[in-house]
Amino acid sequence: MTFHDVVVIGGGGAGLRAAIAVAETNPALRVAVVSKVYPMRSHTVSAEGGAAAVAADDDTLDEHAYDTVSGSDWLCDQDAVEAFVAEAPRELLRLEHWGCPWSRQPDGRIAVRAFGGMKKMRTWFAADRTGFHLLHTLFQTALSYTDIVRYDEWYVTKILEDDGRAYGVVAIELATGRIETITASAVIVCTGGCGRVYPFTTNANIKTGDGMALAYRAGAALKDMEFVQYHPTGLPFTGILITEAARAEGGWLLNKDGYRYLQDYDLGTPSPTPVLRSMELGPRDRLSQAFVHEMDKGNTIDTPYGPIVNLDLRHLGAKLIDAKLPFVRELCSKYQNIDPVKELVPVRPVVHYMMGGIHTDIRGATSLDGLYAAGEVACVSINGANRLGSNSLPECLVFGNRAGRAAAVFAARYRNVVPKSIEAQGRDEVRRLTEELSRHADGHERIADIRTEMQTTMENGAGIYRDRDSLAKAADQLKELQLRFTHAAIDDHSTNFNTELIALLELGFMLDVAESIIACALQREESRGAHQRTDFPARDDERYLAHSLVRREPDGSSRITYLPVTITRWPPGERVYGR
Amino acid sequence: MADEITLEVARYRPELESEPVMQSYQVPLREHWAVLDGLSYIKDHLDGTLSFRWSCRMGVCGSCGMTVNGEPQLSCATFLTDYAPGPVRVEPLRNFPVIRDLVIDIDDFMTKLPKVKPWLVREVHSPVEEGEYLQTPEELDEYKQFSMCINCMLCYSACPVYSLEPEFIGPAAIALAQRYNLDSRDEGAEERREILSSPEGIWACTFVGECSAACPKGVDPAGAIQRYKLTAATQSIKDLLMPRSRR
């Protein structure tokens, strides 16, 4: 057994920010980062467009807050949003002081760009590799904090919990297969999202909802799991993200007739140059929904990888594209064999982000004592029913910092009080993992088959549009897949870098997360943001101006309750774009 | 176009094999399929025991470096159709100990990286409330190229010096040191000088340039090393003439 004061699970944007916050808040605390990949491989690396924080003289915190609240279809907590917009500028400046190569204005000040659903230009960017630069800046800065202990390529299988409090984790060292109980006075979950429960996603292979499932199994509540964001512009087949910045810089979405179809969906009228909060700069939920309607009208183009529309960047010219969107050009050329300077880019909606996650308060505290969460894995909520592009990177920083500070205070207060039962729990987990390996050795179901069926089930059951029938069917299918999962086969019996065992454990986590998404979606009988029920097409503030909270019952079933949304200054209203 | 292509994949499981052996698999040959897609097909449908690292599948996380037909490549950005009719030989990156199959041990790099202090060093850090450190687009351009390193290890795999002298801190680490040395906001060049000017630093490099040829992100580590050699040489002469001066 190893002891640390604070254990952070995950080494992406939120995890590294949290670890640095712990180290800065209380240098006497021993903090560790446990990550299933080397931190600089974390999925933050793939974020492209930018990070929102008020910077320009003509912008205000209230405007950033209002854009976020209306973008969320009023499901966010406004106290959380107010804290978020107030702290975001300082966090991005801190990154600047740590060396982040933000793009600049000619006079040396930070440059900002437009982004979807934002009424002012407030998105900081490092060309279109913002997440990459942000992550490497954080990782390299974290190297200077020599007291931060890293467990690189360790896979967490369990959060240790006793009487409503977290006491650490059990993790497998990938290289050796060694299973270790790592106790802690506080645990911060920063493992990101779960896009891999769907078949077509921008999310990296590692985005399997581990942290959500770990917390759920330990007894913490998950929140608003039914809100899954489809980004409107992914490359067909690969699902590689073409950043919203492409539209912010002036790109157009065209249907098969070359028509800017968004004008037909209450998103404004076309203008040759981008207009904020209008047309291609509308929010992601509305744009992805418009795609489905175009498809239903027969206005999309069929390809071997599904129907597509086109993103037109040709009129922007090579100079602008190379300066502001070089990664878009590189990705299109490498993965689609096209040059956006001369050709149309085929795109379709793609699962991108989880608005929901582990329920936390605005300090990052979950419903378990000593357990904190931040970043995409968490749901504070500042994103409500639909996240605005470029709010997620600053969310990682603001709430990574908050969770780190809160965990540091908690860990200092309750130091070294790990109860005896935890040691036994650690031993039980070692036994369970060993048994899993031998039990699955006799399995007859391929991991990939179950995973693929789960993904198809989720797309069919809880896609951009859902209804009672599709969801109920998905719930049944997931139940069956859970059964089949117990017969999943493992061919690999070695302890050393056994990626098949990890794939099995990830699949187990994903099935739990998938079930929580379906359960929440089934219960919410309204349409709001990214949750569109064709059988309940209107927003229902009477019944559902509230967060879904889902908890796991001892028998494995889920129980859903509702928590009213916090409204401070912006009473629920109509979401208006383009008019 | 044929329907299938053969992947010859290096297998090494220390619990089973004393040295790597090659194993052949038939995978579908489809448009847009990367070598990585072929490997995932094997893992999902043919042989669950094959181990390799991958994550973003868009050439930015740096996980999936491998030796493909003798060349260091990101397997997610190297396409099967380019190797048709095959076979395609897939091996772990060279110059590293192999943990298992295509998984290499990069501890050496992870240990060396902090030694070049790849973070912004300032004598005094201003409070963030005072706003950003100003940096013009031209100043940003000075170091931007070296900030593009994704730590994929392709340059170490390509480097003939690293293969002979494992003490060499290597192309990516030096490029990252230069990334900060050339950043107008940084004041840490002096602190990085000892390690960079040591026998394990820039002087080990014989300027073969293989690192820059292998880099999938156009970082040009060889250029970084060459440029620092000039800086270091100039500095040595200055030190001789004016022993107490700094820079």
ipTM of predicted complex: 0.96
Task: Kindly determine whether residue B140 and residue A93, on different chains, have CB atoms separated by under 8 Å.
Answer: no
Burial B50-66 (b: 16+ CB within 10 A, else e): bbbbbbbbbbbbbbbbb
Q: How far apart are CA A153 and CA A34, in angstroms?
A: 8
pLDDT at B110 over 80: yes
A395 and A191 in contact (C-beta within 8 Å)? no
Q: How far apart are CA B243 and CA B247, in angstroms?
A: 11
pLDDT at B111 over 60: yes
Number of helices followed by number of strands (H, E) in chain A: 15, 21
- CA angle B119/B120/B125 to nearest 5° reads 135
Q: How far apart are CA B105 and CA B115, in angstroms?
A: 19
Q: How far apart are CA A311 and CA B156, in angstroms?
A: 38
User: What are the start-end ranges of the H helices in A337-445?
Assistant: 392-413, 420-441
- B62 interfacial to chain A (CB closer than 8 Å): yes
Task: Kindly determine whether residue A204 and residue B99, on different chains, have CB atoms separated by under 8 Å.
Answer: no
The answer regarding whether domain B4-104 maps to CATH 1.10.760.10 reads no
Query: Chain B contacts of A397, Cβ < 8 Å?
Result: none
Residue for token pair 């650490």: A168
Average pLDDT (B169-197) is 97
Query: Chain B contacts of A237, Cβ < 8 Å?
Result: 32
**Domain ranges within chain B, ordered by starting residue:** 4-104, 107-241
Q: In chain A, which residues have pLDDT < 70? A: 416
Q: How many CB pairs under 8 A join A and B?
A: 165
Task: Kindly determine whether residue A494 and residue B134, on different chains, have CB atoms separated by under 8 Å.
Answer: no
A113 and A121 in contact (C-beta within 8 Å)? yes
pLDDT at B245 over 70: no
Residue whose C-alpha is closest to residue B224's, from B146, B158, B157: B146
Selecting from B47, B53, B77 the residue whose C-beta is nearest the C-beta of A334 gives B77
Question: Chain A closest CA to B6's CA: distance in Å?
Answer: 21
Q: How far apart are CA A319 and CA A326, in angstroms?
A: 10
Write down the pLDDT at residue B233: 86
For chain B, what is the radius of gyration of the CA atoms? 21
Query: Chain B contacts of A331, Cβ < 8 Å?
Result: 58-59
Average pLDDT (B53-82) is 98
Pairing of strands A123-124, A112-113: antiparallel
Which helix (H) or strand (E) segment holds residue A124: the answer is: strand A123-124
DSSP helix/strand/coil, A52: strand
* A548 DSSP β-pair partners: A562
For chain A, what is the radius of gyration of the CA atoms? 23
Neighbour tally for A318: CB within 10 Å: 13
Question: Both tokens of residue A141?
Answer: 């800065």
Q: How far apart are CA A2 and CA A169, in angstroms?
A: 10
Name the E strands within A260-370. Answer: 309-312, 345-354, 357-359
Selecting from A41, A102, A132 the residue whose C-beta is nearest the C-beta of B55 gives A41
Average pLDDT over chain B, rounded to whole? 94
Nearest CA in chain A to B112: A143
Residue whose C-alpha is closest to residue B94's, from B151, B35, B159, B149: B159
Pairing of strands A309-312, A252-254: antiparallel
> Phi and psi at residue B164, in whole multiples of 5°?
-95, -35
Q: How far apart are CA A401 and CA A404, in angstroms?
A: 5
Q: Which residues contact A12 (CB under 8 A, 6 or more apart)?
A: A39, A42, A43, A44, A45, A135, A190, A191, A192, A375, A396
pLDDT at B244 over 70: no
Q: What is the DSSP letter of B171?
A: H
Task: Kindly determine whether residue A496 and residue B99, on different chains, have CB atoms separated by under 8 Å.
Answer: yes
Question: Chain B closest CA to A491's CA: distance in Å?
Answer: 6
Q: How far apart are CA A500 and CA A219, in angstroms?
A: 27
Length of chain B: 247
Write down the pLDDT at residue A439: 76
* A378 DSSP β-pair partners: A358
Q: How far apart are CA A411 and CA A6, in angstroms?
A: 7
Question: Chain A closest CA to B36's CA: distance in Å?
Answer: 12
Question: Chain A closest CA to B223's CA: distance in Å?
Answer: 20
Task: Kindly determine whether residue B137 and residue A104, on different chains, have CB atoms separated by under 8 Å.
Answer: yes
Which helix (H) or strand (E) segment holds residue A189: the answer is: strand A179-189
Q: How far apart are CA B128 and CA B113, in angstroms?
A: 27
Cis peptide, bond prior to residue A185, ω within 30 of zero: no
Residue for token pair 């960047």: A313
Nearest CA in chain A to B74: A334
Task: Kindly determine whether residue A238 and residue B57, on different chains, have CB atoms separated by under 8 Å.
Answer: yes
Q: What is the pTM of this model?
A: 0.97
pLDDT at B41 over 80: yes
B interface test, pick of A143, A303, A444 with most B CB neighbours within 10 Å: A143
Q: How far apart are CA B219 and CA B213, in angstroms?
A: 10
Task: Kindly determine whether residue A143 and residue B119, on different chains, have CB atoms separated by under 8 Å.
Answer: yes
Amino acid (one-letter) located at B167: E
- B238 interfacial to chain A (CB closer than 8 Å): no
> Phi and psi at residue B207, in whole multiples of 5°?
55, 55
Question: Both tokens of residue A299?
Answer: 């206005």
Distances (CA, A) of B80 to A191, A196, B8: 32, 24, 13
Q: How far apart are CA A239 and CA A223, in angstroms?
A: 26
Question: Both tokens of residue A341?
Answer: 């300077």
Nearest CA in chain B to A236: B32
Q: Which residues contact A282 (CB under 8 A, 6 or more apart)?
A: A116, A117, A262, A267, A268, A577, A578
Selecting from B14, B63, B113 the residue whose C-beta is nearest the C-beta of A143 gives B113
Q: Is A113 exposed, middle or buried (0-12, 13-18, 19+ CB in 10 A)?
A: buried
Task: Kindly determine whether residue B63 and residue A491, on different chains, have CB atoms separated by under 8 Å.
Answer: no
Write down the pLDDT at residue B239: 80
The dotted CATH code for B107-241 is: 1.10.1060.10
The catalytic site residues of A sit at 231, 247
* A312 DSSP β-pair partners: A252
Q: How far apart are CA A43 and CA A353, in angstroms?
A: 12
Which helix (H) or strand (E) segment holds residue A466: the answer is: strand A465-466
**Per-residue pLDDT band at B247 (split at 50, 70, 90):** very low
Write down the pLDDT at residue B238: 82
Write down the pLDDT at residue A418: 83
Task: Kindly determine whether residue A38 and residue B110, on different chains, have CB atoms separated by under 8 Å.
Answer: yes
Question: Chain B closest CA to A45's CA: distance in Å?
Answer: 6
Selecting from A46, A97, A447 the residue whose C-beta is nearest the C-beta of B58 gives A46
Question: Chain A closest CA to B240's CA: distance in Å?
Answer: 32
